[in-house]
Amino acid sequence: MKVALLTGGGDCPGLNPVIRAVVRTIHNAGGKSIGMLEGWRGAIEGNFTDLRVQDTDEIIARGGTILGSSRTNPYKDPDDPELADRLIKTFDELDVDALIAIGGDDTLGVASRLYSERKFPVVGVPKTIDNDLSCTDFTFGFDTSINIVMESVDRLRTTAESHRRVMVIETMGRHAGWIACFAGIATAADFILVPEVEVDIDEMCNILKARRAEGKSYGLIIASEGAKLPQSGMVTQDAEVDDFGHVKLGGIGDNLAEVIEERTGIETRAVTLGHLQRGGPPSAYDRVLGTRLGINAARLVLNRQYGRMVALRGMGIVDAPLSEAVGTLRTLDLEFMREAGEFFKYDADPNHTP
């Protein structure tokens, strides 16, 4: 049996553990693996590399993907409707028996259509650093990411204390607040902003002022890049506003820092962690999760259970139809924000001894 792999979309710690586990499991069953380079682009153009057990054994500790990635999507180029045909032709010519596609909603959406429209023998492995895919409890990359945010904030804390500042940390999370919420809990943030919850600027500033009054020498705000400030919360008159009156995505950290400094009078700085959050060696959790998903994706292929994806449910790896998994954004479970909210309260009554 000859199995092809590809990784699509943004890179993410944990991709290499999946690749390694697939290669080993297919090898153990007597098969061989090849890797299509740079996502669907390589699959369409026939660029690939042989994947052997001894070449992939140590990649478990490496971030990113040894196969490269791209945002090429055969179904999103209106000028060339023949891309899916070429892709299938490529796999025919390469004598590939099945494909394991590792990627997010976009990549798995392609996989799902290839299976439903053309019975293409494909199995999916869910990947999103933002943890916003449905059908799986957690995605690999997420745990590494929140640890990077946490370690960065642990560093920034002493600077904030020394200069009596508020620090605003802007994290990834365009559509869902998983990273900001978990990292905010883990770093003892004074307030967390996520896309799922309307931000109360006054409440946030009141907390910062109350804690300063109680003697806390610094403040810490964790904000998803996708969190939205109400128009009334903007300080810069020229900030772009979207159709709903929200300040536009991007730059939330800098904008918030200005708002906070103006309203509280406390010196405030923003730090945008950016690409740091998706790089480097995967955490143990992500290595184990990636490995387990890879083994079980390979087993699906060996059992010819196509059109499905693997997923984490509780402590077990299960599988589900690709068609159910795609198209639905999994936003942050608000129970986590309710728990985090215990730390966003402050004593309105100054006579209450905290």
Cite the active site residues: 130
78 binds a second copy (CB under 8 A): no
Quick note: the x/- pattern for a second copy over 315-334, rule CB under 8 A, is xx----------------x-
Cβ proximity to a second copy, 53 vs 249, nearer residue? 53
The whole-angstrom separation of Cα 2 and Cα 181 is: 42
Provide the token pair at 209: 């002022």
The whole-angstrom separation of Cα 6 and Cα 3 is: 10
Cβ proximity to a second copy, 233 vs 282, nearer residue? 282
Q: At closest approach, how far in Å is the CB of 262 from a second copy? A: 20
Q: At closest approach, how far in Å is the CB of 25 from a second copy? A: 5
Residues numbered 179 to 208 that lie near a second copy (CB under 8 A) are 182-183, 185-188
- Which of 8, 20, 172, 191 forms a contact with a second copy (CB under 8 A)? 20
Collect all residues with Cβ–Cβ distance below 8 Å to 150 and sequence separation of at least 6.
Answer: 183, 186, 187
Question: Do residues 135 and 126 lie in contact, with contact meaning Cβ atoms separated by under 8 Å?
Answer: yes
Quick note: the x/- pattern for a second copy over 237-276, rule CB under 8 A, is --------------------------------x-xx-xxx
Residues numbered 141 to 160 that lie near a second copy (CB under 8 A) are 143, 146-150, 152, 154-159
Sign for the CA dihedral angle at 135, 64, 283, 334 comes to negative
Annotated binding site for substrate: 128-130, 165, 172-174, 225, 269, 275-278
CA distances from 62 to 20, 103, 112, 144, 279 (A): 11, 17, 29, 12, 9
111 binds a second copy (CB under 8 A): no
Q: At closest approach, how far in Å is the CB of 85 from a second copy? A: 26
215 binds a second copy (CB under 8 A): yes
| Gap between the terminal Cα atoms of the chain | 66
Question: Do residues 307 and 116 lie in contact, with contact meaning Cβ atoms separated by under 8 Å?
Answer: yes
61 binds a second copy (CB under 8 A): yes
The whole-angstrom separation of Cα 346 and Cα 341 is: 11
